């Protein structure tokens, strides 16, 4: 039985000819990510911003979001975010931190319950105070920084310095664009988003190592081939595997987006973006940088040394 292939076995696509386009494009995307972060910031969820989250389901029929928003605005609790999710009967209410500590938060919840009545079923209620949210911010930031440093240290010792620099730049590129994705889409950034960022780092590292390992193997095998041609040959060799991996992960994440519910939606959407960005950077960012760093295979190095010796004599 013939196996399913999402890409031809023998491809000969010239990826490196697009490096003069991919680098300016990625630079522009990075600038947009930084500018959006500075101008709009992230949409921090209850985990980090603190407050109260109520997940409701209409007892019968469709949830009336407009009526819920009007009711919440008249309670004097400050800005209340009302948003539908999942099917038509599900809705979430997010209350900002109330002055007065935990007692005030609980009082706000009771006030909302009294105003809404029994027309909705309360499926989930989460209350996070400012102290807990601050600790989560510190712990989450520390966890991400330590993980990134550990990954970059591994990359530095795993490869020669040119390969290591390419891998580090590729990984940082993926992280920056992922942060930009959260800022542009204003997708809720919560503790599951931290898990998504760390998972994207691992996926990006995996794609980068596969491509760079194949380039290093090709350098030993084709000692007289030019570096751009050899990188193209290496990328084409791993292309079927890359497409198969990205497609299967994407389909699994798509199922999570559709059926996983509101709780893991930010994780699933961020991971879908991360799969795309990691695959793109491994081919169009990490690999071409070897050319700009002046890496040469054995044949080119010998030819260069011979030319220098000839000119000197």
What span, in angstroms and rounded, lies between the C-alpha atoms of 75 and 73?
A: 6
The pLDDT value recorded for residue 182 is: 92
- 10, 94, 309 from 82: Cα distances, Å: 53, 7, 75
Which tokens in the block code for residue 194? 């931290």
What span, in angstroms and rounded, lies between the C-alpha atoms of 33 and 44?
A: 17
Contact assessment for residue 173 and residue 26, using Cβ atoms and an 8 Å cutoff: yes
Provide Rg for the chain, Cα atoms: 25
Q: Does domain 51-128 correspond to CATH entry 3.30.70.3400? A: yes
Look up residue 223 and give its DSSP letter.
T
Q: Is the dihedral of CA 216, 217, 222, 223 positive or negative?
A: positive
Which residues, 6+ apart, have CB-to-CB distance to 77 below 8 Å? 95, 96, 98, 108, 111, 112
User: Do the domains at 15-43+133-304 and 51-128 have one common CATH topology?
Assistant: no
The pLDDT value recorded for residue 73 is: 79
Compute how many other C-beta atoms are within 10 angstroms of the C-beta atom of residue 5.
10
The pLDDT value recorded for residue 32 is: 93
- 238, 281, 301 from 271: Cα distances, Å: 22, 15, 41
Q: Which residues of the chain have pLDDT under 50?
A: 301, 303-313
DSSP β-ladder status, 51-58 and 120-128: antiparallel
Which tokens in the block code for residue 196? 């998504």
Contact assessment for residue 190 and residue 50, using Cβ atoms and an 8 Å cutoff: no
Q: How far apart are the first and last CA of the chain?
A: 63
In the sheet with 120-128, reading across from the earlier edge strand, the strands are 80-84, 90-95, 51-58, 120-128
The pLDDT value recorded for residue 286 is: 87
What span, in angstroms and rounded, lies between the C-alpha atoms of 177 and 277?
A: 8
* Closest residue by Cα to residue 27 from 179, 177, 235: 177
15-43+133-304 is classed in which CATH architecture? Up-down Bundle (1.20)
Domain ranges of the chain: 15-43+133-304, 51-128
Spell out where the chain has E strands. Answer: 43-44, 51-58, 80-84, 90-95, 120-128, 188-189
Q: Is the dihedral of CA 21, 23, 25, 26 positive or negative?
A: positive
């Amino acid at each position: 039985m013939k196996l399913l292939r999402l890409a031809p076995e023998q491809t000969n696509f010239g990826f490196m000819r697009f490096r003069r386009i991919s680098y300016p494009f990625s630079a522009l995307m990075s600038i947009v990510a930084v500018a959006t972060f500075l101008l709009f910031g992230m949409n921090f969820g209850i985990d980090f911003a603190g407050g109260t989250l109520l997940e409701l389901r209409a007892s019968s029929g469709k949830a009336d979001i407009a009526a819920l928003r009007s009711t919440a605005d008249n309670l004097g609790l400050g800005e209340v975010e009302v948003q539908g999710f999942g099917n038509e009967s599900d809705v979430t209410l997010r209350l900002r931190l109330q002055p007065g500590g935990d007692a005030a938060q609980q009082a706000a919840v009771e006030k909302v319950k009294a105003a809404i009545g029994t027309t909705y079923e309360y499926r989930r209620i989460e209350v996070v105070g400012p102290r807990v949210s601050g600790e989560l911010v510190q712990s989450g930031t520390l966890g991400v920084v330590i993980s990134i440093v550990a990954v970059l240290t591994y990359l530095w010792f795993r490869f020669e310095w040119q390969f290591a620099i390419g891998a580090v730049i590729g990984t940082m590129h993926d992280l920056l664009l992922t942060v930009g994705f959260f800022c542009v889409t204003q997708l809720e950034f919560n503790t599951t988003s931290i898990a998504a960022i760390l998972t994207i780092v691992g996926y990006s590292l995996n794609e980068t190592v596969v491509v760079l390992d194949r380039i290093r193997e090709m350098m030993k095998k084709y000692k007289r081939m030019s570096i751009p041609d050899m990188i193209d040959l290496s990328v084409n060799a791993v292309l079927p595997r890359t497409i198969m991996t990205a497609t299967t992960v994407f389909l699994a994440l798509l199922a999570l987006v559709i059926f996983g519910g509101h709780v893991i939606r930010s994780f699933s959407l961020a991971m879908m973006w991360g799969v795309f960005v990691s695959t793109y950077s491994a081919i169009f960012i990490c690999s071409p940088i070897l050319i700009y760093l002046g890496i040469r295979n054995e044949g080119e190095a010998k030819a260069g040394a011979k030319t220098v010796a000839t000119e000197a004599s």
